[in-house]
Amino acid sequence: MALIENAKGRRVGQSPSGYTRLFGITALGNLMSRVQGAVISSGNELEDMIWERVAHPIADLDEFLTTTLHSEEDKMYVATKAQVKKCKTINSKYEPDFIAFHPKTRHCYIVEVKDGDTFDTKKSAGEHTTLQNFNYDISQSLPYSTSIHMCCFNSPTREEAWHGLKKKFTLQELLTGRELGTLFGYDYDEIVEVRTSDQQGNLDYFVRAILAIDNIRNMIIKRLKS
């Protein structure tokens, strides 16, 4: 999990953050901004952790698509958003987090991964449209059948993710983090264990930062004494 201590918050000289306006305390607003930054960084970190653990990563996507035209391999090969962006075989302005190919069944999985599991209606619909657009762009140029998938990594069930995404995806288009692990060949529980190991450090830092703000520390002391 990303560390709050390493996150970038509101820069000096910027207008007050929404958190500062909410609480009326600049130091607290800046701390909450760093918390938000850590949450955002955790999503990027999650993609990196998955990529580091996939069973069969693709080294060069163009080469893979050329050399596996007639392959019958029963393996799932995975490529990243960065590889899709550089690929000359794929032409699309959209880039999902991952695309995975199963040569034996000639199927391509188009996958977006989210650390969170609750989104507003507009965001959910936009994510679905983006994946559909990418699917349309590549389905004409690749000798693979295709399907789009949203993975809500921390959702225990597809049904929970379905509600969190305001029912803009079908259940067949959704994956849990554990299901994606089965598909990509990584250990879901190991990733969760690594990520949760930073929780205590984040909690300790947050408490220390809160107590370092004089007026909040005084408020806490007053409350404890009452």
DSSP sequence for 69-105: TT------EEEEHHHHHH-SS---S---SEEEEETTT
In this structure, are 19 and 112 located in the same domain? Answer: no
Q: Give the DSSP letter of residue 60.
A: -
Residue spans of beta strands (DSSP E) within 23-153: 77-80, 98-102, 107-114, 145-152
In this structure, are 96 and 207 located in the same domain? Answer: no
Averaged pLDDT, 31-46: 90
In this structure, are 87 and 162 located in the same domain? Answer: yes
pLDDT-derived band at 1, boundaries 50, 70, 90? confident
Asked whether the predicted pLDDT for residue 15 surpasses 80, the reply is: no
Tell me, yes or no, whether 111 lies in a domain.
Answer: yes
Tell me, yes or no, whether 33 lies in a domain.
Answer: yes
Asked whether the predicted pLDDT for residue 117 surpasses 70, the reply is: yes
Asked whether the predicted pLDDT for residue 47 surpasses 80, the reply is: yes
> Which candidate, 128, 54, 119, 61, places its Cα nearest to that of 94?
128
Of the chain, the percentage scoring pLDDT greater than 70 comes to 96
> Which candidate, 56, 5, 55, places its Cα nearest to that of 34?
5
Query: What pLDDT is recorded for position 201?
Result: 92
- In angstroms, rounded to a whole number, what is the distance separating the alpha carbons of residues 153 and 64? 27
In this structure, are 21 and 119 located in the same domain? Answer: no
Tell me, yes or no, whether 221 lies in a domain.
Answer: yes
**Degrees (nearest 5) of the Cα angle 157, 73, 173?**
25
Sheet containing 77-80: give its strands across: 77-80, 98-102, 107-114, 145-152, 174-176
- In angstroms, rounded to a whole number, what is the distance separating the alpha carbons of residues 23 and 206? 16
Tell me, yes or no, whether 200 lies in a domain.
Answer: yes
Tell me, yes or no, whether 190 lies in a domain.
Answer: no
Tell me, yes or no, whether 191 lies in a domain.
Answer: no
pLDDT-derived band at 40, boundaries 50, 70, 90? confident
In this structure, are 139 and 181 located in the same domain? Answer: yes
In this structure, are 13 and 68 located in the same domain? Answer: no
pTM comes to 0.88
In this structure, are 66 and 164 located in the same domain? Answer: yes
Residues 142-178: tens digit of each pLDDT: 999 999 999 999 999 999 999 999 999 999 999 999 9
In this structure, are 83 and 116 located in the same domain? Answer: yes
The number of folded domains in the chain is: 2
In this structure, are 67 and 107 located in the same domain? Answer: yes
In this structure, are 14 and 93 located in the same domain? Answer: no
15-24, 171-180, 192-201, range with the lowest pLDDT: 15-24
Averaged pLDDT, 90-119: 95
Q: What is the span of the domain harbouring residue 179? A: 55-185
In this structure, are 164 and 98 located in the same domain? Answer: yes
Query: What pLDDT is recorded for position 46?
Result: 96
In this structure, are 147 and 203 located in the same domain? Answer: no
